[in-house]
């Protein structure tokens, strides 16, 4: 019986890839690994891994496409994608805006599998945002530059900029099986467009 197939599907993905996340190489774990982009899916000693690990069938067209993550793939074939995460490192005021209130809140998007950060804006007497207080620092941010949204607002024009640290935003591909004959197209076009 073959260890992998040529169709871009969980059933044809490499049978041995789950061992890369300390799981038994079986159909259920292979299906969970296929196309995964969420953190916390895999556990190591009962603790959720702080990275997103997934297996992807990458066609020659996807590997040579310079948009998306194709430029990070060394070779077409079956690839293991690891995306790091990190903590919220900083928030800065990009624009103070006007007519805000100290009860206005903001949210920092962690991404799939993470926990959003939240907080309140702090204003001066004119309603300009001068600082902020974090009520929940969130966890497992996927992007180095997460999106900040002022969620309840009485004012306008203010914006906050966030940065995540650690391995947030770092993505690497490891070629498990080099082959140029992957056929079909799984629902991974956001990461790997043709």
What was the pLDDT predicted at 41?
79
What is the CB neighbour count within 10 angstroms for residue 183?
12
List pLDDT tens digits, range 36-89.
988 877 776 666 668 889 999 999 999 999 889 999 999 999 999 999 999 999
**Mean pLDDT, to the nearest integer, of 19-36?**
93
Average pLDDT, the chain: 91
Residues of the chain with pLDDT > 90, as a percent, come to 73
Domain ranges of the chain: 10-85+169-178, 88-164
pTM: 0.80
Is 170's pLDDT higher than 60? yes
Cα(122)–Cα(105) distance, integer angstroms: 9
With tokens 């391995």, the residue in question is: 167
Long-range contacts of 9-18 (CB under 8 A, 24+ apart): 9/34, 9/57, 9/184, 9/186, 10/34, 10/35, 12/57, 13/55, 13/57, 13/78, 14/55, 14/78, 14/176, 14/177, 16/176, 17/55, 17/78, 17/80, 17/176
List pLDDT tens digits, range 180-194.
889 888 888 889 998
CA 119, distance to chain mean position in Å, is 22
Cα(81)–Cα(174) distance, integer angstroms: 7
């Amino acid at each position: 019986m073959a260890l992998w197939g040529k169709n871009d599907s969980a059933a044809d993905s490499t049978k041995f890839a789950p061992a890369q996340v300390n799981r038994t190489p079986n159909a259920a774990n292979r299906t969970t690994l296929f196309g995964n982009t969420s953190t916390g899916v895999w556990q190591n000693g009962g603790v959720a891994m702080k990275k997103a690990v997934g297996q992807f069938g990458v066609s020659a067209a996807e590997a040579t496409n310079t948009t998306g993550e194709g430029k990070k793939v060394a070779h077409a074939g079956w690839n293991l994608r690891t995306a790091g995460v990190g903590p919220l490192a900083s928030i800065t005021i990009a624009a103070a805006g006007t007519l805000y209130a100290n009860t206005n809140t903001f949210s920092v998007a962690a991404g799939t599998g993470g926990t959003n950060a939240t907080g309140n804006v702090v204003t001066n007497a004119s309603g300009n945002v001068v600082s902020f207080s974090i009520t929940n620092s969130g966890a497992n941010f996927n992007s180095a530059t997460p999106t900040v949204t002022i969620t309840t607002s009485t004012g306008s024009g203010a914006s906050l900029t966030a940065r995540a640290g650690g391995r947030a935003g770092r993505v690497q591909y490891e070629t498990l099986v080099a082959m140029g004959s992957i056929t079909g197209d799984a629902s991974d076009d956001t990461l790997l467009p043709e």
